[in-house]
C-alpha cells in the first residue's frame, strides 16, 4: 500500500533543530518512513576513554551529542533532496515518454531502472518516531513487492493501464512527501507544500491502491499458467507453496489494512492542518 502512513511531521523543522543538542536513536528501517522523522543511529555508550573521569565524560557528552545531531540532520537533508530529485527525474521521464509516444505502452520499460533504484534505495530510511511493526512491515513490503515480484518478474503485465495508475500515484506522492521533509529540515516549509502533503493523498492513495490491486489481478492468469515462484510436492523439504494463492491472499489483505492506514493519514491531516489534538494508542 505504498507508504500509506507516516507519523505527522508538524513542527518537524523545530525537531530537526533540536537534534543538534540531542542525539537521535535508531528505531526502524522503512521505505515509507518520513524523512523528517528519520535519523541515524547513535550509540548508547558515552565514549569513555582510558583514565578519563566521569565528570570529564559528562562534559564531553553534550558536544558529542551535538555533533551526532548535526551529522544526522545533514544526512537526512541530503537523503531527502536526493529522493525528491530522483522522483522528479522519474516524473519528467514519464511525461516525456507519453508526449513522444502518445501511448502508455512501453512506459514502464522506459522508466523501470530509475523506479527500481529509488524505490529500493528507500530501504535506507530510518525513523525516530515509533510506529507499529505491522504498519512498518506493510510500508516496507508493499512497494518492494510490487516493483520486484510483480512488474519486474511478470513482463506480460508491464503494459497494463493499471501499472500507469500506481506509477503516477507513487511519483506525485513521493515528490510531495520528500519535498515536505526537505523543507521541514531546513525550517523553511512553504504552506503549499504542507497543504499538498496532507491533501493530495486523499486522491492519490486510493488511486495507487487501485492500480496495485488491478495489476496483481492482471498477473493471476500468467502466474497460474506458469506456476512461477511455486513449490510443488513431492520435494526433499516436504513443503509446498503456491504463488497464485499467495497473490489472492495479498489482495484480500488490502481490505483490512488500507482503511486503517488511510484513516490514520486523515487523522494526521486534521492534526497538522486544523490543529486538532488527537490521542492515538501506541501499538
Give the residue numbers annotated as catalytic, written as ranges: 205, 212
What distances in angstroms separate CA 227 from CA 32, 157, 179, 224, 243, one per listed residue? 31, 16, 42, 5, 7
6 φψ region: left (φ > 0), alpha (ψ -120 to 50), beta (else): beta
* Closest by CA position to 182, among listed 115, 272, 68, 86: 86
* Residue 1 contacts residue 142 (beta carbons within 8 Å): yes
And the C-alpha cell for 259?
482503511
CA distance 58 to 270: 42
Amino acid at each position: 500500500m505504498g507508504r500509506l502512513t507516516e507519523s505527522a511531521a508538524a513542527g518537524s523543522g523545530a525537531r530537526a533543530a533540536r537534534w543538534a543538542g540531542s542525539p537521535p536513536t535508531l528505531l526502524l528501517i522503512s521505505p515509507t518512513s518520513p524523512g523528517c522523522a528519520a535519523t541515524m543511529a547513535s550509540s548508547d555508550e558515552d565514549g569513555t576513554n582510558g583514565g578519563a573521569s566521569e565528570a570529564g565524560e559528562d562534559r564531553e557528552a553534550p558536544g558529542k551529542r551535538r555533533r551526532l545531531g548535526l551529522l544526522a540532520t545533514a544526512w537526512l537533508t541530503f537523503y531527502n533532496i536526493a529522493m525528491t530529485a530522483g522522483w522528479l527525474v522519474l516524473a519528467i521521464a514519464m511525461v516525456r515518454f507519453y508526449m513522444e509516444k502518445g501511448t502508455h505502452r512501453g512506459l514502464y520499460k522506459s522508466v523501470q531502472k530509475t523506479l527500481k533504484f529509488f524505490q529500493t534505495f528507500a530501504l535506507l530510511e530510518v525513523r525516530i518516531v515509533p510506529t507499529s511493526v505491522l504498519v512498518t512491515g506493510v510500508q516496507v513490503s508493499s512497494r518492494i513487492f510490487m516493483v520486484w515480484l510483480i512488474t519486474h518478474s511478470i513482463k506480460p503485465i508491464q503494459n497494463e493501464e493499471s501499472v500507469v495508475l500506481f506509477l503516477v500515484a507513487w511519483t506525485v506522492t513521493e515528490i510531495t512527501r520528500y519535498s515536505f521533509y526537505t523543507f521541514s529540515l531546513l525550517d523553511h516549509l512553504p504552506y503549499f507544500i504542507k497543504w499538498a502533503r496532507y491533501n493530495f493523498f486523499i486522491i492519490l492513495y486510493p488511486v495507487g491502491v487501485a492500480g496495485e490491486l488491478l495489476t496483481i489481478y492482471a498477473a493471476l492468469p500468467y502466474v497460474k499458467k506458469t506456476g512461477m515462484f511455486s513449490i510443488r510436492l513431492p520435494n526433499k523439504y516436504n513443503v509446498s507453496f503456491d504463488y497464485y494463492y499467495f497473490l489472492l491472499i495479498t489482495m484480500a489483505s488490502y481490505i483490512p489494512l488500507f482503511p486503517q492506514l488511510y484513516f490514520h493519514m486523515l487523522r494526521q491531516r486534521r492534526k497538522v492542518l486544523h490543529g486538532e489534538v488527537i490521542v492515538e494508542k501506541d501499538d
